[in-house]
């Protein structure tokens, strides 16, 4: 971002798309690397039960932050992005900001009182949970303005220093014997520090205003409140199984499950990166040129689907090797059997993020709501049926099946209500090949030694790259990818359009 560029606008041109896409991925690589760096140390010093307690704290924060803030962190984005007047943008932002602070403060106070009075064995955790909620809210509120207006270059720098500080603090405090208390303290401190830094960058152009415009708030609630159950349903699919496991199998099983999540969620780099740039970009392009957006969407969906299915196969095939390298205590090792299934669930989650964008851009939150309602209801049924008997395997199968149902439902809604035709027939062949190769990878994983696994990985990547580039991609798609690569590398040349 140049010195004279405003924080409160962005252009949806090709240069901005490439830059923001790359920056968004970099942000998530930094975030995921934090988990991968600390994983061997955490699993060496912490027992599965301690990892389980920390995992329960984190997923509870992820659940309660949007609920307590009435989804006023991300819900108003469509209004902010489409607004031209900077004075109105400031008034909108601080209406959402102040309202979120008020609602969240009341809810956090009530939560603390409830835990103290009726928390049972969870009463001791309120001293961590409430500050984690507050610090996460502060960081999310300040960083949202950078996300909405695509100031990803600044976000990359902030993410790097924030996560680097979190890693150092976490390692130091865990090695000092503070267990999950130290992990929570590291997150709280760096969230608050990063939030203060962002406000310092914004305050000249976005000075604080003590305002809560009733008209703006009414508009925000029209979008944010219908989407609030969506966050709840998504949380149920991705995280409620940890509560089932904790109650039925104990916190130690949750610890094992969270380690597999932590290793497999590298795939979620793309989900969170898409949240950073795909939704704002889709809103912009949907308004300006729907036909062009639909054509680009068809290519993006097919490309992501192919790439993600390849990643799932690699996770399945390498699961035992990954666990041996990244996880030190033998207590965790038998959980490798669910890594491929969890990777598949996360891959579907990425596709859900892609599919959500046109529905959100067309202001169809009810269709998003119904998709997640179907998925979460199915997940709840499967958790009851599978977890008591199959433990973490049942939890993994429930999560993957639920996301698959959401993908199917959203695809149907896009066809039915938006006339949005985006499924490429070539995906049928990709899907058939994926099923066959996945079964083979699961079988060979059990008999291959480490050198054979590495050699097979190289052969798979090379052969898949040649097949995709030589036989699956069309000529104009190859030209488009080459033009993107040239633009990213700073070379001159007229880009090919999709």
Does 460 reside within a domain? Answer: no
Distances (CA, A) of 146 to 62, 155, 276, 485: 20, 7, 9, 26
CA distance 456 to 372: 38
Domains contained in the chain, number: 1
Q: Residue 17 has what pLDDT?
A: 57
Q: Residue 24 has what pLDDT?
A: 60
Does 358 reside within a domain? Answer: yes
Write out the residue range of the structural domain in which residue 222 sits.
14-447
Q: Residue 188 has what pLDDT?
A: 95
Summarize pLDDT for 39-69 with one digit per residue, the tens.
777 788 888 888 888 888 988 898 899 899 9
Does 243 reside within a domain? Answer: yes
Q: Residue 341 has what pLDDT?
A: 94
Summarize pLDDT for 134-193 with one digit per residue, the tens.
999 999 999 888 877 766 677 777 877 888 898 889 889 988 888 889 999 999 999 999
Stretches where the chain sits below pLDDT 70 are 1-36, 150-152, 272-273, 275-277, 279-280, 470-471, 475-478, 480-498
Does 487 reside within a domain? Answer: no
Q: Residue 317 has what pLDDT?
A: 93
Does 491 reside within a domain? Answer: no
Which residue is it, tokens 């509120």?
A: 141
Does 469 reside within a domain? Answer: no
Q: Residue 374 has what pLDDT?
A: 93
Q: Residue 494 has what pLDDT?
A: 46
Does 484 reside within a domain? Answer: no
Question: Distance from CA of residue 183 to its chain's centroid?
Answer: 21
Nearest partner of 286 among 356, 218, 352, 224, judged by Cα: 356
Does 102 reside within a domain? Answer: yes
């Amino acid at each position: 971002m140049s010195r004279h560029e405003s924080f409160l606008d962005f252009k949806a041109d090709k240069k901005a798309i490439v830059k923001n896409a790359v920056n968004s991925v970099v942000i998530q690589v930094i975030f995921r690397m934090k988990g991968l760096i600390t994983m061997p140390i955490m699993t060496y010093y912490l027992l599965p039960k301690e990892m389980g307690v920390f995992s329960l704290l984190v997923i509870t924060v992820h659940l309660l932050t949007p609920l307590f803030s009435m989804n006023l962190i991300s819900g108003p984005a469509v209004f902010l992005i489409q607004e031209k007047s900077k004075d109105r943008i400031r008034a909108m932002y601080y209406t959402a900001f102040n309202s979120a602070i008020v609602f969240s403060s009341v809810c956090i106070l009530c939560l603390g009182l409830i835990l103290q009075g009726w928390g049972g064995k969870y009463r001791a955790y309120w001293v961590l949970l409430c500050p984690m909620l507050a610090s996460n809210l502060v960081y999310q509120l300040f960083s949202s303005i950078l996300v909405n207006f695509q100031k990803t270059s600044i976000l990359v720098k902030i993410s790097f220093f924030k996560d680097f500080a979190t890693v150092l603090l976490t390692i130091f405090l865990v090695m000092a014997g503070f267990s999950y208390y130290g992990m929570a303290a590291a997150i709280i401190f760096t969230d608050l520090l990063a939030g203060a830094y962002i406000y310092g960058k914004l305050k000249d152009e976005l000075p604080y205003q003590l305002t809560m415009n009733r008209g703006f708030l009414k508009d925000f609630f029209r979008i944010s409140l219908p989407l609030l159950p969506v966050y709840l349903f998504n949380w149920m699919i991705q995280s409620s199984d940890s509560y089932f496991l904790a109650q039925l199998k104990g916190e130690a099983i949750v610890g094992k499950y969270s380690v597999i999540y932590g290793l497999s969620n590298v795939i979620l780099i793309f989900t969170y990166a898409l949240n950073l740039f795909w939704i704002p970009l889709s809103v912009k392009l949907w308004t300006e040129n729907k036909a062009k957006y639909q054509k680009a969407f068809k290519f993006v969906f097919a490309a992501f689907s192919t790439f993600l299915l390849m990643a799932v196969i690699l996770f399945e095939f390498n699961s035992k090797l990954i666990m041996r390298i990244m996880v030190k205590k033998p207590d965790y090792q038998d959980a490798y059997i669910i890594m491929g299934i969890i990777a598949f669930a996360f891959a579907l989650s990425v596709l859900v993020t892609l599919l959500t964008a046109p529905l959100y851009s067309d202001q169809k939150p009810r269709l998003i709501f119904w998709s997640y309602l179907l998925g979460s209801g199915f997940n709840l049924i499967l958790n009851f049926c599978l977890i008591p008997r199959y433990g973490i395997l049942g939890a993994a199968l429930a999560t993957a099946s639920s996301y698959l149902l959401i993908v199917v439902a959203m695809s149907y809604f896009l066809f039915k209500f938006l006339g949005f035709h985006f499924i490429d027939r070539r995906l049928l062949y990709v899907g058939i090949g994926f099923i066959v190769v996945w079964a083979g990878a699961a079988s060979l994983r059990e008999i291959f030694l480490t050198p054979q696994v590495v050699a097979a990985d190289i052969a798979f990547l090379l052969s898949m790259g040649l097949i995709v580039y030589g036989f699956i991609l069309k000529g104009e798609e190859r030209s488009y990818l080459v033009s993107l690569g040239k633009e990213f590398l700073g070379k001159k040349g007229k880009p090919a359009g999709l």
